Amino acid sequence: MDSSEFFSTEKDTSPWGTSETTRLHIELLDQIAAAPSSTWSDLELAKALTELTHDEYQKYGTNGSELANTEARKLLTTLKAVLARVGLRNVEFGFRDFESFRSYWIRKGASGAGGWQARRDLLTDLFNPIHDRLEALVTGGSGPKVTEEALSALDDPGAIRDHLDRIERSLDDDPRLAVGSAKELVESTAKLVLKRSGVEYGKTDDLPSLVAKAHTALGINAKQVEDSAENAVGIRTLLGAVSRIGVGMAELRNQIGTGHGQAEVPTWVTPRHARLAVGSAHVWCQFVLETLEQRSS
């Protein structure tokens, strides 16, 4: 989607001829803010709106924008509504329109001679993380994913999809929640694999125990690899590493996740740590579900 599609052209006829005026399409923005479009995906809209909003506020802070203050406000509120729909919630800019943006840059010391570059830098710091996060969603997000083909190994993958959705929504905005959801993803997958394999598990089985049972049920426990198997040592090493994901997930979740009451909030947790946990969970789930499908076929 091109940002020019957020504008409409109106013809003005007078005794001296016909002229065209380009205006921000307020009605379209209202429709986009209220509900998903039937023409463009929310991700397409989010990317185009982010580029347009960044550009118009940069124009206002340097050479001047042709948009009115009310139009600038409409652009920003629409952008925030669409960003929320693609999982980028609680995005804050520190201003709501052109007038409050001026107050914002004055507070930040970006006024006076040469202030135009400082204002550009302020906007770059605000918008570049949004550009990057949207690009990550377009190109596949945070790393390895659990594919639809792998999910087809389950009779009802609804619980797994729910965990995946919550992880995607919280990864950047609430990394501790993403860690907890990643642990729950592994736990639910292990239980579904055991159920599908006809193996019982109890309430006392913790995550490492569930993972170990799932590996044994699928024949992918490192101890089950025969000495005569080709590349037996390497396979055992990899399977052992994969099995330890369950242990690591449980320990990390207990330390920083949201599943247990904490005496102190672990403020050091960042999206980088969440991506490590989520990526590990994705790798494990993809592997065991592909194995389950292969054994069932």
User: Given this model, what pLDDT does residue 293 score?
Assistant: 92
Pairing label, strands 17-24, 7-14: antiparallel
Pinpoint the residues of the chain covered by CATH 1.20.120: 148-296
Q: Is a pLDDT exceeding 60 seen at residue 66?
A: yes
pTM above 0.75, yes or no: no
Residue 249's alpha-carbon distances to 77, 183, 186, in angstroms, are 38, 6, 8
Q: Tell me if the domain spanning 148-296 has CATH number 1.20.120.
A: yes
In whole angstroms, give the CA distance from residue 280 to residue 186: 9
Can you give the pLDDT at residue 248?
A: 87
| pLDDT (0 to 100) of residue 140 | 56
Rounded-to-integer distance, Cα 28 and Cα 257, Å: 41
The answer to whether the CB of 130 falls within 8 A of the CB of 93 is: no
- Predicted pLDDT at 14: 67
Distance set, CA 115 to CA 112, 124, 128 (Å): 5, 14, 20
Over 60: is that where the pLDDT of 260 sits?
no
User: Please, which pLDDT band fits residue 5 given cuts at 50, 70 and 90?
Assistant: very high
**Residue-wise pLDDT tens digits, 146-179:** 888 888 899 899 899 888 888 877 887 788 888 8
Mean pLDDT on 95-123: 94
In the predicted structure, residue 261 carries a pLDDT above the cut 80 = no
Structure tokens at 87: 């999982």
Cβ atoms of 65 and 29 within 8 Å: the answer is no
Q: Which one is predicted more confidently, 119 or 20?
A: 119
Query: Is residue 215 within 8 Å of residue 239, measured between CB atoms?
Result: yes
Is residue 19 pLDDT above 80, yes or no? no
In tens, the pLDDT along 206-229 reads 999 999 999 999 998 888 877 776
How far CA 126 is from CA of 53, 58, 106, 114, 296, in Å, comes to: 11, 12, 16, 20, 50
Alpha helical stretches, state H, the chain: 26-34, 42-61, 69-85, 98-107, 115-139, 148-151, 158-170, 175-197, 207-218, 232-256, 271-296
**pLDDT at 143 (0 to 100):** 55
pLDDT at 258: 55
**140's torsion region: left (phi>0), alpha (psi -120 to 50) or beta?**
left
Q: List, for residues 32-58, the tens digit of each pLDDT value.
A: 999 988 888 888 999 999 999 999 999
55-63: average pLDDT: 95
